[in-house]
Amino acid sequence: MTAEPTLKPERPFFSSGPTAKHKGWSAANLKTESLGRSHRSALGKSRLKHAIDLSKEMLGVPEDYLVGIMPASDTGALECAMWTMLKPDRPATVAAWESFGNVWIQDAVKQLKLPKLTTLDADYGEIPDLASIPQDNDVVFTWNGTTSGAKIPDTDWLAKDREGVTINDATSAIFAMEMDWAKLDATTYSWQKVMGSEAQHGMLILSPKAVARIEEYDPEWPLPKLFRLKKGGKINTGIFEGATINTPSMLATEDYIDALEWAQSIGGRKAMFERADANAKLVKDWIEATPWLRNMVADPAKQTNTGVCFVFQGDWYDSLSEEDKAGVPKKIVKLLEDRDVGYDFNGYRDAPPSLRIWCGGTVEQEDLKRLLPWIEWAYEQVKNG
């Protein structure tokens, strides 16, 4: 039997959302002058615009793209793009390979009821044939599968001059992987993913092509106030300058600004990419070296550098009933949570029985190094029961 490790992670936060705060984070460091003030005040609006401007700068978003803060996290931003841009008289494809991507499929099928819709899906760990999507189709896709650990390997399947618009759910990829902005028309994400900020607000990034689609198209379906991006038939540019559609949390805004300024201080998005890459390599190398584990995603080119998902294998595990297989990761997580070693690293509830370790840039590599021996120990405890 492996001896119980003694060294614990200093920051045992490995959730895939909300993710870990950056090292050194403290609520006492947040600026609070905007709290208790109207978000429409000069101060409130200036802080919202600062969050927008800093996001645009950090992400390398082209100057002629619009960046705005939206309600209801990534879901609100993504559904706003779908409701305001997808047209019944145009062909559209929604591609999914994990839980949240399938939500967008259900939106297109059951809510928008698009008559010229094609859906593509794949099992956990796989990606559908994206090259089969016609270039004149509008397309909705997830850059990185938060619940499967499968990402798109490239954007070769998207032509720069394609006729259709692209709607990209980038919530667990942005700030960890470079976005190919020239091929993206609406890109969305949430503060609570790679930046480890407080949840509830999302970001919507629009290309000039997306703006043109929104301005020339008046949807047949009702648009709730939270999705109304136009004013007088034109895009409401105020939304993209800090005049949010509804009241935002200024405390969450200050927390997001704090995360952005921290990332900027360590070298910007490139440093965040490098940290995620190094963290993920550590975990993936360990998975490869551990005979009773395998990455949920077989193809290395499609393996994420954020929420790394892995499943169990081997004679003992394969001999278990389906119910007992599902219990293995739950028992491992409970053993380690009870010891304050690692929190929230169970696989997603709809995914195959698995563990999922967040490797984004706010996680310290030393904490990952300390976590992995504990998982090995816990596995032996469960196996030998």
pLDDT digit string (tens) for 310-369? 999 999 999 999 999 999 999 999 999 999 999 999 999 999 999 999 999 999 999 999
Range list of β-strands (E), the chain: 66-70, 92-96, 117-121, 138-142, 166-169, 186-190, 202-206, 230-231, 234-235, 293-295, 307-312, 355-358
CA neighbor of 185 nearest in space, from 86, 336, 65, 299: 65
204: which strand partners?
Answer: 68, 188
Q: What angle do CA 272, 274, 277 make, to 5 degrees?
A: 110
* pLDDT score, position 210: 98
**What's the half-sphere exposure (Cβ side, CA atoms, 13 Å) at 234?**
4
Q: What is residue 269's predicted lDDT score, i.e. its pLDDT?
A: 98
Is residue 274 packed enough to be buried (19+ CB in 10 Å), middle (13-18) or exposed (0-12)?
middle
**What is residue 226's DSSP assignment?**
G
Cα–Cα distance for residue pair 22/249, rounded to 1 Å? 20
Q: pLDDT band for position 376 (50/70/90)?
A: very high
Answer yes or no: is pLDDT of 99 > 90. Answer: no
Percent over 70 (pLDDT), the chain: 100
| Beta-bridge partners for 139 | 93, 166
Query: How far is residue 124's CA from residue 167's CA, in Å, rounded to a whole number?
Result: 21
pTM (2 d.p.) = 0.97
**Amino acid, res. 238:** G
Closest by alpha carbon to 229, among 188, 286, 287? 188
Is the pLDDT reported for residue 2 higher than 90? no
Report pLDDT for 367: 98
pLDDT band at 118 (very low <50, low <70, confident <90, very high): very high
- How far is 381 from 324, CA to CA, in rounded Å? 14
Which secondary structure element, helix H or strand E, spans residue 316, and what is its range?
Answer: helix 315-318
- Assess contact for 167 and 194: CB atoms under 8 A: no
Question: Residue 385 pLDDT more than 90?
Answer: no
Average pLDDT in the chain: 97
For residue range 228-276, list pLDDT tens digits in order: 999 999 999 999 999 999 999 999 999 999 999 999 999 999 999 999 9
Q: What phi-psi label fits residue 185: left (phi over 0), alpha (psi between -120 and 50 degrees) or beta?
A: alpha
Give me the helices (H) in 147-194, please. none
